[in-house]
Amino acid sequence: MDTQQMKIAAAREALSDVTSGMKLALGTGSTASELVRLLGDDPTQRKLLDLRCPSTSEHTADLARPGAIGIRPPAPRTPPEPPTSRAPRAD
């Protein structure tokens, strides 16, 4: 099995864990690209409906759009709370 075949096999294995209604973050890289291609082949054939898929890159989002994969922008991050001020130490 060559490298490309291993990437496709890994993507197929990951796809077996995907279920309808799932929020599935689409990553970046060649193996993630294979998963996106498999998802987009025919999502209704595998009964994968209403997937919500934020994407980590425009490249991955561009791969997903023709396959009618539900691309959603990532949720805005809530900024962390500022640290509380500490009382001065008594030496």
| Model confidence at 17: pLDDT above 80 | yes
Q: Which residues pair with 54 in a beta bridge?
A: 72
Across 7-29, average pLDDT = 88
Work out the percent of the chain whose per-residue pLDDT is above 70: 73
User: pLDDT band at 8, cuts 50/70/90?
Assistant: very high
| Between 36 and 71, the higher pLDDT residue | 36
Task: Tell how strand 53-54 and strand 71-72 pair up.
Answer: parallel
| Model confidence at 5: pLDDT above 90 | yes
| Between 52 and 85, the higher pLDDT residue | 52
